[in-house]
Homo-oligomer: A and B are copies of this chain.
Amino acid sequence: MAKRQIAVGIDIGGTNTVFGLVDRDGKIISEGSIQTKEFEDVEVFVAALYEKINVTIRKLGNSAEVLGYGIGAPMGNINNGTIEYPSNLPWKGIIPIAEYFRKYTSLPVTVTNDANAAAVGEMIYGGAKGMKNFVVITLGSGLGSGFVIDGKLVYGANGFAGEIGHTAIRPGASNRMCGCGRKGCLETYVSASGIKRTVLKIMADSIVDSDLRELSFNELNAKIIHDAALKGDPIALEAFEHTGRMLGFKLADVVAHTDPEAIFLFGGLALAQDLIFEPAREYMEEHLLSIYKGKVKLLPSQLSTQNAAVLGASSLVWTLKEF
Protein backbone atom coordinates (compact mmCIF):
# COMPACT_ATOMS: atom_id res chain seq x y z
CA MET A 1 0.00 0.00 0.00
CA ALA A 2 1.22 3.49 -0.83
CA LYS A 3 2.29 5.54 2.14
CA ARG A 4 0.08 8.43 3.17
CA GLN A 5 1.85 11.68 2.33
CA ILE A 6 2.09 14.21 5.15
CA ALA A 7 3.06 17.85 5.39
CA VAL A 8 4.11 19.21 8.77
CA GLY A 9 2.52 22.57 9.53
CA ILE A 10 4.06 24.62 12.33
CA ASP A 11 2.57 27.80 13.76
CA ILE A 12 5.01 29.70 15.96
CA GLY A 13 3.08 32.10 18.19
CA GLY A 14 4.14 34.39 20.97
CA THR A 15 2.76 32.06 23.61
CA ASN A 16 2.53 28.59 22.07
CA THR A 17 3.92 26.84 19.04
CA VAL A 18 1.43 24.41 17.54
CA PHE A 19 2.18 21.78 14.92
CA GLY A 20 0.11 19.34 12.92
CA LEU A 21 0.70 16.43 10.58
CA VAL A 22 -1.60 17.23 7.66
CA ASP A 23 -2.60 15.11 4.69
CA ARG A 24 -3.21 16.42 1.20
CA ASP A 25 -6.93 16.88 1.88
CA GLY A 26 -6.21 19.16 4.81
CA LYS A 27 -7.00 16.63 7.49
CA ILE A 28 -4.91 17.01 10.61
CA ILE A 29 -3.89 13.46 11.48
CA SER A 30 -1.98 14.28 14.60
CA GLU A 31 -0.95 17.42 16.43
CA GLY A 32 0.96 18.81 19.37
CA SER A 33 2.40 21.97 20.87
CA ILE A 34 5.20 23.41 22.96
CA GLN A 35 5.40 26.67 24.87
CA THR A 36 7.36 29.22 22.87
CA LYS A 37 7.82 31.48 25.87
CA GLU A 38 9.86 28.85 27.72
CA PHE A 39 12.75 29.03 25.26
CA GLU A 40 15.15 31.93 25.48
CA ASP A 41 17.47 30.23 23.01
CA VAL A 42 15.90 29.66 19.62
CA GLU A 43 18.22 26.76 18.76
CA VAL A 44 17.15 24.91 21.88
CA PHE A 45 13.55 25.71 20.88
CA VAL A 46 14.05 24.17 17.43
CA ALA A 47 15.71 21.08 18.91
CA ALA A 48 12.82 20.57 21.35
CA LEU A 49 10.18 21.24 18.69
CA TYR A 50 11.78 18.93 16.15
CA GLU A 51 12.06 16.16 18.73
CA LYS A 52 8.40 16.54 19.71
CA ILE A 53 7.30 16.50 16.05
CA ASN A 54 9.46 13.46 15.40
CA VAL A 55 7.95 11.56 18.31
CA THR A 56 4.50 12.36 16.91
CA ILE A 57 5.52 11.19 13.44
CA ARG A 58 6.97 7.94 14.77
CA LYS A 59 3.63 7.16 16.43
CA LEU A 60 2.12 6.97 12.91
CA GLY A 61 4.43 4.02 12.21
CA ASN A 62 5.36 3.22 8.62
CA SER A 63 2.09 4.37 7.11
CA ALA A 64 3.14 8.01 6.66
CA GLU A 65 5.75 9.73 4.51
CA VAL A 66 6.67 13.29 5.55
CA LEU A 67 7.23 15.58 2.56
CA GLY A 68 8.37 18.75 4.27
CA TYR A 69 7.94 21.39 6.94
CA GLY A 70 5.95 24.58 6.56
CA ILE A 71 6.53 27.18 9.25
CA GLY A 72 4.30 30.15 9.94
CA ALA A 73 5.80 32.72 12.31
CA PRO A 74 5.50 36.45 13.04
CA MET A 75 7.89 38.25 10.64
CA GLY A 76 8.59 34.98 8.85
CA ASN A 77 10.31 35.70 5.52
CA ILE A 78 9.83 33.15 2.75
CA ASN A 79 12.61 34.67 0.65
CA ASN A 80 15.24 34.07 3.31
CA GLY A 81 13.82 31.29 5.49
CA THR A 82 14.16 33.65 8.42
CA ILE A 83 12.18 35.27 11.20
CA GLU A 84 13.24 38.92 11.20
CA TYR A 85 12.91 41.28 14.16
CA PRO A 86 9.80 39.66 15.66
CA SER A 87 8.13 41.85 18.26
CA ASN A 88 6.11 39.13 19.99
CA LEU A 89 8.63 36.29 20.27
CA PRO A 90 11.35 35.70 22.89
CA TRP A 91 14.09 36.09 20.24
CA LYS A 92 15.55 39.22 18.65
CA GLY A 93 17.14 40.19 15.36
CA ILE A 94 17.28 37.95 12.30
CA ILE A 95 16.67 34.29 13.16
CA PRO A 96 17.63 31.73 10.46
CA ILE A 97 14.91 29.33 11.55
CA ALA A 98 14.90 27.22 8.35
CA GLU A 99 18.65 26.73 8.65
CA TYR A 100 18.27 25.55 12.26
CA PHE A 101 15.62 23.06 11.13
CA ARG A 102 17.80 21.77 8.35
CA LYS A 103 20.34 20.61 10.90
CA TYR A 104 17.86 17.83 11.59
CA THR A 105 16.28 17.15 8.22
CA SER A 106 17.02 17.18 4.51
CA LEU A 107 13.35 17.73 3.67
CA PRO A 108 12.13 21.11 2.37
CA VAL A 109 11.57 23.72 5.09
CA THR A 110 9.61 26.85 4.19
CA VAL A 111 8.89 29.88 6.34
CA THR A 112 6.30 32.60 6.05
CA ASN A 113 4.50 34.77 8.50
CA ASP A 114 1.58 33.30 10.36
CA ALA A 115 -0.93 35.64 8.72
CA ASN A 116 0.20 34.66 5.22
CA ALA A 117 -0.04 31.03 6.26
CA ALA A 118 -3.56 31.63 7.56
CA ALA A 119 -4.47 33.29 4.24
CA VAL A 120 -3.30 30.26 2.27
CA GLY A 121 -5.23 28.03 4.67
CA GLU A 122 -8.38 30.11 4.15
CA MET A 123 -7.96 29.86 0.37
CA ILE A 124 -7.42 26.10 0.27
CA TYR A 125 -9.68 24.86 3.06
CA GLY A 126 -11.85 27.76 4.23
CA GLY A 127 -14.24 30.54 3.25
CA ALA A 128 -12.00 31.91 0.49
CA LYS A 129 -12.25 28.81 -1.70
CA GLY A 130 -12.64 30.04 -5.27
CA MET A 131 -11.91 33.67 -4.40
CA LYS A 132 -9.11 35.38 -6.32
CA ASN A 133 -8.78 38.59 -4.30
CA PHE A 134 -9.12 38.65 -0.54
CA VAL A 135 -7.36 39.59 2.68
CA VAL A 136 -7.09 37.67 5.94
CA ILE A 137 -6.57 39.62 9.17
CA THR A 138 -5.33 37.56 12.11
CA LEU A 139 -6.21 38.88 15.54
CA GLY A 140 -4.02 37.20 18.12
CA SER A 141 -1.39 38.60 20.49
CA GLY A 142 -0.68 40.92 17.57
CA LEU A 143 -2.43 41.80 14.30
CA GLY A 144 -1.23 40.19 11.09
CA SER A 145 -2.52 40.26 7.54
CA GLY A 146 -2.16 38.20 4.40
CA PHE A 147 -3.10 39.47 0.93
CA VAL A 148 -4.15 37.22 -1.93
CA ILE A 149 -4.33 38.92 -5.33
CA ASP A 150 -5.31 37.16 -8.52
CA GLY A 151 -5.24 33.84 -6.69
CA LYS A 152 -1.70 34.19 -5.38
CA LEU A 153 -0.35 35.12 -1.99
CA VAL A 154 1.43 38.49 -2.09
CA TYR A 155 4.95 38.26 -0.68
CA GLY A 156 6.35 41.57 -1.85
CA ALA A 157 9.83 42.55 -2.95
CA ASN A 158 11.42 41.62 0.38
CA GLY A 159 9.02 38.86 1.45
CA PHE A 160 7.23 41.11 3.94
CA ALA A 161 3.94 42.15 2.35
CA GLY A 162 0.94 42.29 4.67
CA GLU A 163 1.99 44.05 7.86
CA ILE A 164 -1.00 46.30 8.34
CA GLY A 165 -0.71 45.71 12.09
CA HIS A 166 2.20 48.11 11.93
CA THR A 167 0.53 51.00 10.16
CA ALA A 168 -0.33 53.98 12.36
CA ILE A 169 -3.85 54.96 13.28
CA ARG A 170 -3.09 58.66 13.56
CA PRO A 171 0.54 59.58 12.93
CA GLY A 172 2.02 61.57 15.77
CA ALA A 173 -1.24 61.55 17.69
CA SER A 174 -1.01 58.34 19.72
CA ASN A 175 1.11 57.63 22.79
CA ARG A 176 0.50 53.90 22.69
CA MET A 177 3.88 52.13 22.47
CA CYS A 178 4.14 49.17 20.15
CA GLY A 179 6.39 46.14 20.59
CA CYS A 180 8.03 47.19 17.31
CA GLY A 181 9.45 50.28 18.99
CA ARG A 182 7.07 52.84 17.53
CA LYS A 183 3.80 54.40 18.66
CA GLY A 184 0.18 54.08 17.61
CA CYS A 185 0.41 50.97 15.42
CA LEU A 186 -2.93 49.35 14.59
CA GLU A 187 -2.04 46.27 16.62
CA THR A 188 -1.69 48.35 19.78
CA TYR A 189 -5.46 48.88 19.45
CA VAL A 190 -6.75 45.86 17.55
CA SER A 191 -5.41 42.67 19.11
CA ALA A 192 -5.89 40.69 22.31
CA SER A 193 -3.42 42.96 24.09
CA GLY A 194 -4.74 46.07 22.33
CA ILE A 195 -8.26 45.66 23.67
CA LYS A 196 -6.84 45.20 27.20
CA ARG A 197 -5.03 48.51 26.85
CA THR A 198 -8.23 50.11 25.59
CA VAL A 199 -10.13 48.77 28.61
CA LEU A 200 -7.56 50.39 30.90
CA LYS A 201 -7.75 53.65 28.97
CA ILE A 202 -11.55 53.71 29.25
CA MET A 203 -11.41 52.88 32.98
CA ALA A 204 -8.93 55.72 33.42
CA ASP A 205 -11.12 58.22 31.58
CA SER A 206 -14.61 57.24 32.70
CA ILE A 207 -16.25 56.92 36.12
CA VAL A 208 -18.57 54.09 35.08
CA ASP A 209 -18.58 51.09 37.38
CA SER A 210 -17.52 47.72 36.00
CA ASP A 211 -16.45 44.30 37.23
CA LEU A 212 -13.34 44.76 35.13
CA ARG A 213 -12.13 47.30 37.70
CA GLU A 214 -11.52 44.32 40.02
CA LEU A 215 -8.89 42.84 37.69
CA SER A 216 -5.26 43.74 37.20
CA PHE A 217 -3.85 44.34 33.73
CA ASN A 218 -2.10 40.99 33.89
CA GLU A 219 -5.28 39.22 34.96
CA LEU A 220 -7.30 40.70 32.11
CA ASN A 221 -7.53 38.96 28.75
CA ALA A 222 -9.63 39.20 25.62
CA LYS A 223 -11.89 36.37 26.68
CA ILE A 224 -12.71 38.03 30.02
CA ILE A 225 -13.50 41.28 28.19
CA HIS A 226 -15.64 39.34 25.70
CA ASP A 227 -17.56 37.61 28.49
CA ALA A 228 -18.07 40.94 30.28
CA ALA A 229 -19.39 42.52 27.09
CA LEU A 230 -21.87 39.67 26.62
CA LYS A 231 -23.16 40.44 30.13
CA GLY A 232 -23.60 44.09 29.18
CA ASP A 233 -20.56 45.54 30.96
CA PRO A 234 -20.41 49.12 29.66
CA ILE A 235 -16.62 49.37 29.66
CA ALA A 236 -16.19 46.06 27.85
CA LEU A 237 -18.81 47.11 25.31
CA GLU A 238 -17.13 50.44 24.74
CA ALA A 239 -13.76 48.69 24.36
CA PHE A 240 -15.14 46.40 21.63
CA GLU A 241 -16.81 49.35 19.91
CA HIS A 242 -13.57 51.31 19.93
CA THR A 243 -11.53 48.30 18.79
CA GLY A 244 -13.92 47.61 15.92
CA ARG A 245 -13.83 51.23 14.83
CA MET A 246 -10.04 51.37 14.75
CA LEU A 247 -10.06 48.18 12.70
CA GLY A 248 -12.79 49.43 10.37
CA PHE A 249 -10.90 52.61 9.62
CA LYS A 250 -7.81 50.71 8.57
CA LEU A 251 -9.84 48.16 6.60
CA ALA A 252 -11.04 51.07 4.48
CA ASP A 253 -7.38 51.65 3.61
CA VAL A 254 -6.95 47.96 2.79
CA VAL A 255 -9.87 48.19 0.37
CA ALA A 256 -8.52 51.37 -1.27
CA HIS A 257 -5.17 49.67 -1.84
CA THR A 258 -6.14 46.33 -3.36
CA ASP A 259 -9.95 46.23 -3.76
CA PRO A 260 -10.54 42.75 -2.33
CA GLU A 261 -13.73 40.72 -2.70
CA ALA A 262 -13.70 39.87 0.99
CA ILE A 263 -11.80 40.46 4.21
CA PHE A 264 -11.70 37.59 6.68
CA LEU A 265 -11.14 38.11 10.38
CA PHE A 266 -9.42 35.27 12.12
CA GLY A 267 -8.41 34.58 15.72
CA GLY A 268 -9.49 35.27 19.27
CA LEU A 269 -11.08 38.70 18.87
CA ALA A 270 -12.97 37.56 15.76
CA LEU A 271 -14.81 35.06 17.97
CA ALA A 272 -16.57 38.01 19.58
CA GLN A 273 -18.67 38.11 16.39
CA ASP A 274 -21.02 41.11 16.21
CA LEU A 275 -19.19 42.88 19.03
CA ILE A 276 -16.25 43.40 16.71
CA PHE A 277 -17.79 42.88 13.24
CA GLU A 278 -20.56 45.47 13.60
CA PRO A 279 -18.43 48.50 14.48
CA ALA A 280 -15.69 47.34 12.07
CA ARG A 281 -18.16 47.02 9.22
CA GLU A 282 -19.90 50.30 10.02
CA TYR A 283 -16.70 52.29 10.29
CA MET A 284 -15.13 50.63 7.24
CA GLU A 285 -18.20 51.49 5.15
CA GLU A 286 -18.22 55.03 6.50
CA HIS A 287 -14.63 55.50 5.35
CA LEU A 288 -14.95 53.82 1.96
CA LEU A 289 -14.98 55.72 -1.29
CA SER A 290 -18.42 55.37 -2.88
CA ILE A 291 -17.19 52.96 -5.57
CA TYR A 292 -16.39 50.39 -2.89
CA LYS A 293 -19.40 50.85 -0.61
CA GLY A 294 -21.45 47.71 0.01
CA LYS A 295 -19.16 45.58 -2.17
CA VAL A 296 -16.61 44.20 0.27
CA LYS A 297 -17.63 41.28 2.44
CA LEU A 298 -16.31 41.34 6.00
CA LEU A 299 -16.45 37.71 7.10
CA PRO A 300 -15.35 35.46 9.93
CA SER A 301 -12.71 32.92 9.00
CA GLN A 302 -14.18 29.53 8.20
CA LEU A 303 -11.22 27.77 9.73
CA SER A 304 -11.20 26.85 13.38
CA THR A 305 -9.02 29.20 15.38
CA GLN A 306 -6.88 26.33 16.54
CA ASN A 307 -6.11 24.83 13.15
CA ALA A 308 -6.02 27.58 10.54
CA ALA A 309 -2.42 28.65 10.97
CA VAL A 310 -1.22 25.05 11.11
CA LEU A 311 -3.19 24.16 7.99
CA GLY A 312 -1.90 27.27 6.24
CA ALA A 313 1.68 26.53 7.20
CA SER A 314 1.29 22.94 6.04
CA SER A 315 -0.18 24.06 2.72
CA LEU A 316 3.09 25.82 1.93
CA VAL A 317 4.65 22.39 1.57
CA TRP A 318 2.14 21.28 -1.06
CA THR A 319 2.20 24.52 -2.99
CA LEU A 320 5.92 25.17 -2.77
CA LYS A 321 6.44 25.41 -6.49
CA GLU A 322 3.54 27.82 -6.98
CA PHE A 323 5.12 30.53 -4.86
Contacts and interface: CB of A to CB of B under 8 A. Distances in A.
Which secondary structure characterizes the binding site on chain A?
loop
A171 B248 CA distance: 11
Contacts of A155: 259
B290 A180 contact: yes
B256 A157 contact: no
Given A133-B157, A154-B149, A295-B158, A256 B163 contact: yes
A232 to B, nearest CB: 27
A169 B161 CA distance: 21
A290 B162 CA distance: 14
A219 B169 CA distance: 36
A159 interface: yes
A319 to B, nearest CB: 15
Contacts of A168: 249, 252, 287
Contacts of A256: 162-164, 166-167
A181 interface: yes
Nearest to A296: B157
A253 interface: yes
A164 B259 CA distance: 11
A289 B132 CA distance: 28
Contact of A132 (B75, B132, B157): B157
Interface residues of A, number: 48
Contacts of A249: 168, 171
Interface in A61-92: 75, 84-85
Contacts of A292: 158, 160, 163
A189 interface: no
A258 interface: yes
A296 B158 CA distance: 9
Contacts of A290: 85, 180-181
Contact of A289 (B163, B254, B257): B163
Given A132-B157, A158-B259, A257-B147, A84 B291 contact: yes
A143 B316 CA distance: 37
A96 to B, nearest CB: 15
A170 interface: yes
A155 B151 CA distance: 12
Contact of A259 (B85, B133, B149, B161): B161
B253 A167 contact: yes
Given A133-B156, A161-B258, 4 more contacts: A155-B259, A163-B291, A164-B253, A164-B256
9 contacts: A85-B290, A149-B156, A156-B260, A157-B261, A158-B292, A163-B256, A170-B171, A253-B257, A257-B258
